[in-house]
Amino acid sequence: FALERPQKLEKSGWMKLLLSSRNLHKLEEIRAILPATITVDPWESDVEIEESADTFEGNALIKAYAGWQQKGIPCLGEDSGLSVPALGGAPGVLSARFAREPRSDFANIQLLLKQMDGLHDRSAYFTTVLVLVMNGNEFCFEGRVDGRIATDIQGEMGFGYDPVFIPEGYDQTFAELGPSIKNHISHRARALSKLMAFLNAFSG
Ligand code: ITT
């Protein structure tokens, strides 16, 4: 592969990145959070990418390299999940398939609420690890948001565990608070702000 820089568009400061993900909610949030100067195109592999690592970082790396190798332009991989200390960190890297197949956000939430039934410590946090691969080099950005797990499902916005996650400083779930608040304080927003600082330094 030719060595590439982040792909600059005509106007200085504009760039184009690929997001190696099948999750359209992630794409939507990432696009909403990043400035309009950074365009993000989705890349879905024809074959399912095996997320074989046991860390967010390891899986984000696998996704980012897969896209970069296939398309040859700077590519983001994102791996994220919910960790509950009272459950020993579960669901963690297995968040997407906590309740196994078929993959279902609702089944995952039901299982989580069942496992947390009667637990006093309801603290939890979301983690996002974003890996950017360009020029064959990888750059890693992490974000975390702390909160607690509600006792029942509340709200309809967002995706995944949003209907049961109440971020610190709020009394409502991400699914009730909606994108204007979530995209400001979320794990994803925090990782993306580190990415933007890096890209600004890189292109400036
Ligand atoms: P890709 O691997 O294709 O990117 P995915 O949905 O499989 O998509 P992950 O393996 O990173 O992505 O799993 C992330 C899971 O963690 C996701 O399916 C949700 O269950 C949960 N999750 C991550 N971020 C979340 C958020 O902002 N709100 C609610 N749940 C979230």
In this predicted model, what pLDDT tens digit does every residue of 149-163 receive, in sequence order? 999 999 999 999 999
Q: To test ligand 1's pocket by mutation, which of 161, 182, 185, 186 has the most ligand atoms within 8 angstroms of CB?
A: 161
Task: Quote the pTM value.
Answer: 0.94
DSSP 8-class letter at 40: E
> In the predicted model, is pLDDT for residue 131 greater than 70?
yes
pLDDT, residue 12, reads: 60
Q: Is the CB of 68 under 6 A from ligand 1?
A: no
Rounded to an integer, the average pLDDT of 48-67 is 95
Distant-in-sequence, close-in-space partners of 26: CB < 8 Å, separation ≥ 6:
19, 78, 80, 188
* Rounded-to-integer distance, Cα 89 and Cα 23, Å: 23
Q: Report helix angle 187-203 to 24-33, nearest 10.
A: 50
Name the band, by pLDDT with cuts 50, 70 and 90, for residue 200.
confident
Using 50, 70 and 90 to split pLDDT, how confident is the model at 5? low
Ligand 1 centroid to Cα of residue 160, in Å, is 7
- 171 has catalytic annotation: no
**Residue 193: band (very low, low, confident or very high) from pLDDT cuts 50, 70, 90:** very high
User: Hey, whose CA ends up nearest to atom 6 of ligand 1?
Assistant: 23
How high is the pLDDT of residue 9?
44
Q: What is the pLDDT of residue 1?
A: 42
Q: Which atom of ligand 1 is nearest to the CA of 159?
A: 29
Find out whether 136 and 149 touch, Cβ atoms under 8 Å: no
Question: What is the reported pLDDT for 46?
Answer: 84
pLDDT value at residue 10:
42
Question: Checking DSSP bridges between strand 15-20 and strand 7-8, what pairing results, if any?
Answer: antiparallel
Which string of b and e fits 73-102 if b means at least 16 CB within 10 Å?
bbbbbbbbbbbbeebeebbbbebbebbeee
What is the C-alpha to C-alpha distance for residues 112 and 108, in angstroms, rounded to an integer? Answer: 6
191 vs 4, higher pLDDT: 191
- pLDDT, averaged across the chain: 93
Q: How far apart are CA 23 and CA 158, in angstroms?
A: 12
pLDDT over 70, % of the chain: 92
